[in-house]
Structure 1
Amino acid sequence: MSTNPATVAKCLRLNAGFSQADRNWIVEQFATLDARLATFDADATDLELSIKDREAKGQRVTLECRIAGWEKIVTTSSEQDLRAALNDVRDDLRRKINDAKTRQEPRNNKHLRVAPPPGQDTPAEAEELAGTGATTDDR
């Protein structure tokens, strides 16, 4: 775990279409990202939020996430309601970080671990057989 864990409050930069007056409620809206970001260092993590054509029919919210050593992750939403659009990009970013983390760290994902070759016992099977004096072939 990082000694300086990333949080939305530490890493969020507001760009086009947002003002500093928007910052507090946006940080609150994105608070659920903190648990996912905490595994990264704040100095190596950057979140950039922007909006094009705010409050217009074709508004587009963009959230970019840069984490050192990772490809940039970009999420967008065209939802007309600003809060819904923010929720949309937040949830999409969380999903994309989870997906990227799973791809980078398969050893921590039991679904990506390779099953033992046929004829080799798993540790639990080996322990079970040791107690009976049997071998794999005796099953």
Structure 2
Amino acid sequence: MSAVTNPATVAECLRVGAGFSQGDRNWIVEQFATLDARLAAFHADATELEVSVKDREARGQKVTLECWIAGRQKIVTTSSEEDLRAALHDARDDLRRRLNDAKTKQEPRHNKHIREIGQPGPGQAADADLDRVDVETA
């Protein structure tokens, strides 16, 4: 498997939306730092994150974290925790779980060999079958 040449990081991909200022951005990046390991599997140019909060610091505030990765469905996580830090952590942890679930769904199951070397491309499987036939007939 090839390594991602420009891996996504929260610092590189995060936009702050409604309810947050650019001054909040560095603090939010610190809160989301544990996402970096999960995002590293994706290209920075194909990954976007946006965090917003509705009714900040009021009862019923709602934090929304959205994630767009090229070729995948958008993931939206929310939290209604009253403490802002707790709400950010809740949304972050939910995003990490959902990214893990999405990765698991795309990996081949029960075949470590295919996961490590990749699946054969078109025509390669047919060639492998022909080689097997030649060995059997020889």
**Range into which the TM-score falls when normalised by the shorter chain:** 0.7 to 0.9
Q: Which runs of 5+ in 1 are unaligned?
A: 115-139
Distance 1:80 1:93 in 2: 19
Offset of residue 36 of structure 1: 0.3
| 1:54 aligned counterpart, secondary structure | coil
Distance 2:50 2:57 in 1: 19
1:49 alignment partner in structure 2: 51
Deviations 1:44-84 (A, max 9, x none): 00001000000110100000000000000000000000000
2:57 aligned with 1:60, yes or no? no
Distance 1:24 1:73 in 2: 22
Task: State the AA in 2 paired with 1:65.
Answer: C
Q: Which of 66, 70, 76 is 2:78 aligned to? A: 76
2:115 aligned with 1:113, yes or no? no
Offset of residue 2 of structure 1: 1.2
| 2:60 aligned counterpart, secondary structure | coil
Deviations 1:66-105 (A, max 9, x none): 0000000000000000000000000000000000010011
Over the aligned positions, Cα root-mean-square deviation in angstroms equals 0.9
Task: State the AA in 1 paired with 2:21.
Answer: S
1:21 alignment partner in structure 2: 23
Q: Which of 68, 85, 88 is 1:86 aligned to? A: 88
2:98 alignment partner in structure 1: 96
| 1:49 aligned counterpart, secondary structure | strand
TM-score normalized with structure 2 length:
0.77
Q: Which runs of 5+ in 2 are unaligned?
A: 112-138
Distance 1:34 1:18 in 2: 21
Q: Which of 27, 32, 35 is 1:33 aligned to? A: 35
* Aligned pairs, number: 109
| 1:103 aligned counterpart, secondary structure | helix
